Structure formats: structure tokens, C-alpha cells
Amino acid sequence: MSGVILVTGGGRGIGADVCRRAAALGYTVLVNYASNQNAADALVEEIRAAGGVAHAKQGDVGSESDILELFAAADELGQLVGLVNNAGVVDVSARVEDMSVDRLTRMFAINVTGSFLCAREAVKRMSTRHGGKGGAIVNLGSAASKLGSANQYVDYAASKGAIDTMTVGLALEVADEGIRVNAVRPGIIDTEIHASGGVPDRVASLTASLPMKRPGSADEVAKAIIWLLSEEASYTTGAILDVSGGRAILP
């Protein structure tokens, strides 16, 4: 396969596994990272050693100017054919009455506005309406959007609810312009995001309560993302795929 796939927050966790799999399929991968250059550079070296093509680009998706620079870097690598809106943040557990405006501003700037702006730039490049050749966008949601995350991260859950809605609306908007837009909703996945939210043992503490009695892996989510990016999902758009081991199933 050919073309450029941009993965925001691609240096670690789910994003890194998406990059590995996309590069192995022959895509040129642009690995975006916000601050951990060492992780992104190590991933690029790993992909290149395996025969793939990858480049790293720093950029905070909470900043419009950084996003514009990120897509300019993608343009230099070739034709953009895919965007994975993977970058996101979670904060420490808190009830809504204890959340500051700074926390909420950061949460929605990165998780929602950043995803919208990246999608905007991707559509400008991939839409046949703008002279593009089509492509695919995959957004990262969360089972939290269905569960609410009461007493923990209602703000995070709400931001991912916005991603659900954006996925459906954008999919319909560009359905006849050669672009498919889908999302995955991971459940409890064993990645570093839990530690960044101040609960490093969250996976272990929840394992017994999970329907499959185990957390998911980043690679299991990456496989679903790669499928949605691929031509094997050529008639799939506006879909939100739960990769949650059954955790997001409502009674």
C-alpha cells in the first residue's frame, strides 16, 4: 500500500502499535508526539529497521499552529490517505464540582477541538471536493462515553461523547467525497494513560470486574483501527466499534 498515514499521539501505547502495523503494510507513517521525543524517535528507528518508512514530528494537538505545521510535514512526505485521531489526555480522578476551568479547557482543547482541527485539515487534503483522492479517518473514542465515568473523569467521558457525535456527523458530511470516518471505543486497555491520570494500578484493580476478566492490549485496539483504515472496510463509515471486551455493553 502507499500514501501517508498521520497518527496523532503516535509515539506510545495504541498510537505506536497503529504506526507499526501501518508501516508494515507499506504506508509512510508520520508519528506525531507532544513531548516524548525519545519514545517517538525510538519507534521511528524500530520501524525503519524493519524496512518501513516513518518520520516523527512534534506537535501539540491543543494548538492550531502546531496542527498546521504537522499537516505541512505530512504534505512533504506524499499524499495523505489516512488520519488516526489518537492523541488525548485524561486528568486525575475528581468529581465535577471540583473541576477547574483550566482542567476543562485543556481536556476539551486536546480531546475535542484538536480532533476537529486535525479532521478539518485531513478533509481539505483527502476530499474529492477539494481535489483529493479520498481516504479514511479513524477517531479514538472511549467506552467512558457510554459509561459516564462518575466520580472519576466525567469531563473525559464527555469529551469522548463529543468524538462519537463528530464521527457520525463528519462521516455523513463527506460520505460522497471519498472519505470514510469511523471510530473505535476502547475499554480498559493496559497503557500508560492510567498512570498519567494518577491511577497507575487502575487496570489491575478493575481486571476482576471486566467481562473477559482481563484488560485489552494496545495492539488489539490497533488491529481494529487498521481494519477501519483499510479497503477491507470500504463500505464502513459512521461506525463506532467497541473494543472493550464487553465492558461498554449497556443492559
Read off the pLDDT of residues 194-222 as tens digits, 9 standing for 90 and up: 445 555 666 776 777 787 788 889 999 99
CB of 23 closer than 8 Å to CB of 55? no
pLDDT tens, 19-62? 999 999 999 999 999 999 999 999 999 999 999 999 999 999 99
Residue listed under C-alpha cell 508519528: 31
Read off the C-alpha cell for 24.
Answer: 508494515
Please tell me the pTM assigned to this model: 0.93
Check if 156 is active-site: yes
Q: Are 53 and 25 a contacting pair, CB within 8 Å? A: no
Looking at 33, 153, 156, 235, which residue is catalytic? 156
**pLDDT, position 237:** 98
Tell me which fold the domain 4-243 belongs to. Rossmann fold (3.40.50)
Strands 53-58, 28-33: pairing is parallel
Domain boundaries, the chain: 4-243
